[in-house]
């Protein structure tokens, strides 16, 4: 399974839950997570999508840490099976 397939599945699952999952492009500020998950009830989180077995680059880890220090949830998924759990966690926050 490729990264884009996992990302597509994430977007579909967020839509099924009544939310949106826009791609996050941040010109001039590299390393931000791939997607912002926005779910009903003002629940939100950031998701980095990787191909199976891949890990975030050092800059991405640094950006994820910064967002977490600011109080935002940041999740890294590298498989389709992780999507439901991540969305449940975002919805319960």
pLDDT at 1 over 90: no
For the chain, what is the domain count? 1
Q: How confident is the model at residue 13, as a pLDDT?
A: 98
Contact (Cβ atoms closer than 8 angstroms) between residue 48 and residue 77: yes
Integer Cα distance of 7 and 91 in angstroms: 18
Whether the CA torsion 18, 89, 57, 6 is positive or negative: it is negative
Here the CATH number for the domain that contains residue 51 is 3.40.1350.10
pTM of the model: 0.93
Assign 42 a pLDDT band (cuts: 50, 70, 90).
Answer: very high
pLDDT for 63-80, tens place per residue?
999 999 999 999 999 999
Integer Cα distance of 52 and 36 in angstroms: 20
Q: Which domain holds residue 66?
A: 3-92
């Amino acid at each position: 399974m490729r990264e884009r397939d996992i990302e597509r599945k994430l977007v579909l699952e967020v839509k099924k839950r009544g939310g949106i999952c826009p791609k996050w492009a941040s010109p001039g500020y590299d390393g931000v997570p791939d997607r912002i998950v926005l779910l009903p009830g003002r629940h939100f989180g950031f998701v980095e999508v990787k191909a199976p077995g891949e890990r975030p680059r050092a800059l991405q880890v640094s950006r994820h840490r910064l967002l977490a220090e600011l109080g935002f949830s940041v999740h890294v998924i590298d498989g389709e099976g992780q999507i439901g759990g991540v969305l449940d966690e975002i919805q319960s926050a």
